Amino acid sequence: MSDLRQQAQDCKQASRRLAWLATADKDRILTRLAAQLRAQTDPLLAANRRDCEAGALAGLSDALLDRLRLDEQRIEGMAQGCEQVARLTDPVGREIAWTRPNGLLIRKVRVPLGVLCIIYEARPNVTVESACLAIKSGNGALLRGSRSALNSNQVLVKIIQECLTEAGLPAQAIAGVADLSHESITTLGRMNGLIDLMIPRGGAELIKRVVETSTVPVLETGVGVCHLFVEASADLAMAVPVILNSKCSRPAVCNSLETLLLDETVAFETIQGLEPEIKNKVRVQGCPRTLALLPWAAPATPENWDTESMDMILNVKVVNGLDEALEHIRRHSTGHTEAILTRDLESARRFQREVDACAVNVNASTRFTDGGEFGFGAEIGISTQKMHARGPVGLDELTTYKYWVEGQGQIR
Amino acid sequence: MSDLRQQAQDCKQASRRLAWLATADKDRILTRLAAQLRAQTDPLLAANRRDCEAGALAGLSDALLDRLRLDEQRIEGMAQGCEQVARLTDPVGREIAWTRPNGLLIRKVRVPLGVLCIIYEARPNVTVESACLAIKSGNGALLRGSRSALNSNQVLVKIIQECLTEAGLPAQAIAGVADLSHESITTLGRMNGLIDLMIPRGGAELIKRVVETSTVPVLETGVGVCHLFVEASADLAMAVPVILNSKCSRPAVCNSLETLLLDETVAFETIQGLEPEIKNKVRVQGCPRTLALLPWAAPATPENWDTESMDMILNVKVVNGLDEALEHIRRHSTGHTEAILTRDLESARRFQREVDACAVNVNASTRFTDGGEFGFGAEIGISTQKMHARGPVGLDELTTYKYWVEGQGQIR
In the prediction, which pLDDT does B1 show?
A: 65
**Minimal-distance CA residue of chain A relative to B192:** A385
- Per-residue pLDDT 10s for chain B (412 aa) are 679 999 999 999 999 999 999 999 999 999 999 999 999 999 999 999 999 999 999 999 888 899 899 999 999 999 999 999 999 999 999 999 999 999 999 999 999 999 999 999 878 999 999 999 999 999 999 999 999 999 999 999 999 999 999 999 999 999 999 899 889 999 999 999 999 999 999 888 888 899 888 889 999 887 899 999 999 999 999 999 999 999 999 998 899 999 999 999 999 999 999 999 999 999 999 999 999 999 999 999 999 999 999 899 999 999 999 999 999 999 999 999 999 999 999 999 999 999 999 999 999 999 999 999 999 988 999 999 999 999 999 999 999 999 999 999 999 9
In the prediction, which pLDDT does B410 show?
A: 98
**B106 contacts on A by Cβ (under 8 Å):** 374-375
Q: Which of residues 304-333 of A touch B (CB under 8 A)?
A: none
Those residues with Cβ within 8 angstroms of residue A333's Cβ, 6 or more apart along the chain or in another chain: A225, A227, A355, A356, A357
Longest dimension (CA), chain B: 79
In the prediction, which pLDDT does A1 show?
A: 65
**A249 contacts on B by Cβ (under 8 Å):** 411-412
Kind and range of the H or E element at B284? strand B283-286
CB A111 within 8 A of CB A90: no
In the prediction, which pLDDT does A143 show?
A: 97
Burial class (CB in 10 A: 0-12, 13-18, 19+), B342: buried
In the prediction, which pLDDT does A34 show?
A: 98
pLDDT at A87 over 90: yes
Each residue's pLDDT tens digit, A303-341: 999 999 989 999 999 999 999 999 999 999 999 999 999
Domain with CATH 3.40.309.10 in chain B: 226-373
Where residue A299 falls (left for φ over 0; alpha for ψ -120 to 50; beta otherwise) is beta
Q: What is the DSSP letter of A232?
A: T
- Cβ-defined contact of A390 to B400 (cutoff 8 Å): yes
* CATH 3.40.309.10 holds for B226-373: yes
d(CA B140, CA B13): 9
Domain with CATH 3.40.605.10 in chain B: 3-219+393-406
In the prediction, which pLDDT does B131 show?
A: 98
**B217 contacts on A by Cβ (under 8 Å):** 385-387
Q: Looking at the complex, does the CB of residue A359 fall below 8 Å from at least one CB of chain B?
A: yes
**3-class SS at A278?**
helix
Q: Which of A217, A244, A256, A234 is nearest to A334 (CA)?
A: A256
Distance from CA of A113 to the nearest CA of B (A): 7
Each residue's pLDDT tens digit, A131-157: 999 999 999 999 999 999 999 999 999
Domain with CATH 3.40.309.10 in chain A: 226-372
User: Phi, psi at residue A335, to the nearest 5°?
Assistant: 75, 20
Distance from CA of A9 to the nearest CA of B (A): 13
Those residues with Cβ within 8 angstroms of residue A137's Cβ, 6 or more apart along the chain or in another chain: A91, A92, A112, A113, A395, A398, A399
Q: Which of A140, A142, A137 is nearest to A119 (CA)?
A: A142
In the prediction, which pLDDT does B286 show?
A: 98
In chain A, count H helices and then E strands. 15, 16
Q: Regarding the domain delimited by B3-219+393-406, which CATH topology (the fold level of the hierarchy) does it fall under?
A: Aldehyde Dehydrogenase; Chain A, domain 1 (3.40.605)
- Cβ-defined contact of A409 to B352 (cutoff 8 Å): no
d(CA A12, CA B79): 47
Length of chain B: 412
**Minimal-distance CA residue of chain A relative to B237:** A409
Q: Which amino acid is at A393?
A: V
CATH superfamily of A226-372: Aldehyde Dehydrogenase; Chain A, domain 2 (3.40.309.10)
Distance from CA of residue A324 to its chain's centroid? 30
As beta bridge partners, residue A382 has A392
d(CA B273, CA B279): 11
- For B349, other C-beta atoms within 10 Å of its C-beta total 14
**A391 contacts on B by Cβ (under 8 Å):** 402-403
Rounded to 10 degrees, what is the CA torsion of B340, B344, B346, B351? 0
Distance from CA of B275 to the nearest CA of A (A): 19
Please tell me which residue, A99 or A215, carries the higher pLDDT value. Answer: A99
- Assign A173 a pLDDT band (cuts: 50, 70, 90): very high
- Assign A283 a pLDDT band (cuts: 50, 70, 90): very high
